[in-house]
A = this chain, B = another copy of it.
């Protein structure tokens, strides 16, 4: 089981990506953690270290995938 982290900020684009992509991942392969960076600012550094530039973003297997564009991570600090 791999861990996947979906970072978002509650924006409409984020909600769409969460429902569409994060919830479509194979539950037999991935344990998906959903992190709201607007509410969990303590996770911002970790997200930035993973290469997250904007939300929504999905980090899995060490790769960061930005899915459409909701907000820049700069604006969440």
Contacts and interface: CB of A to CB of B under 8 A. Distances in A.
A29 B20 contact: no
Contact of A66 (B4, B29, B68): B68
A29 B29 CA distance: 14
Number of copies: 2
Given A63-B16, A65-B67, A67-B67, A4 B26 contact: no
A63 B17 CA distance: 9
A5 to B, nearest CB: 13
A49 B67 CA distance: 19
B65 A66 contact: no
Interface of A: 4, 16-17, 20-21, 24-30, 58, 60-61, 63, 65-68
